[in-house]
Amino acid sequence: MSKDDIKKRIENQKEKKKVNEKKVKFAPAKDVTKKSLKDRIGMVGSFAAAMASRGLSNNKIDKKTKQLRVLSCIGKGELPPCEYLRTSKVDSERKATWLVSDANEYGKLDYPKVSCPLNMPGFSNYEPSSPDEAKSPITRRHYIEQMQMKDVESVSVTVNGSPPK
């Protein structure tokens, strides 16, 4: 191996270190496991509210809201998917359990009123991040709030139906 090869390897390693140092570190999500009867009754109420929000004409959310919901659940680029989404079991045969569906179908993220256990952007129960969430490691919610609008708008989604006015 020549001196030039060694120098190139060292430079490549330094560049890789710089790239790794710039990576965002995310805090783990808060524990939202539902155990009590009260919590389960609340989930039934949330489901009923989501179903009612469809209305008689199967209303769907607007494009920007769906883009925020997709980011909150699925992530994009360095933003990882939600921890609870990754660990949940999804029955792919039941269309009602799909987060994102085909254009002609109705996925969970299409409901005008739908809650997120982590109160993430795009959901009906969204709560802005606290100042503590901006400290390293940051939360996924804070990261999404700080994104440029052009990056949010670059998320590919399909919205059919009549968005709520």
**96, part of any domain:** yes
Which residue range is the domain that position 151 belongs to? 62-165
Q: What is the C-alpha to C-alpha distance for residues 134 and 138, in angstroms, rounded to an integer?
A: 5
**57, part of any domain:** no
**119, part of any domain:** yes
Q: State the total domains in the chain.
A: 1
Count other C-beta atoms under 10 Å from residue 155's C-beta: 18
**34, part of any domain:** no
Q: What is the C-alpha to C-alpha distance for residues 123 and 116, in angstroms, rounded to an integer?
A: 6
What pLDDT, on a 0 to 100 scale, did the predictor assign at position 153? Answer: 93
**83, part of any domain:** yes
Q: What is the C-alpha to C-alpha distance for residues 13 and 16, in angstroms, rounded to an integer?
A: 5
**43, part of any domain:** no
Handedness of CA 88, 93, 95, 101 (dihedral sign): positive
The reported pTM is 0.67
Each residue's pLDDT tens digit, 19-75: 444 577 877 777 666 666 556 556 666 767 766 777 676 777 889 999 999 999 889
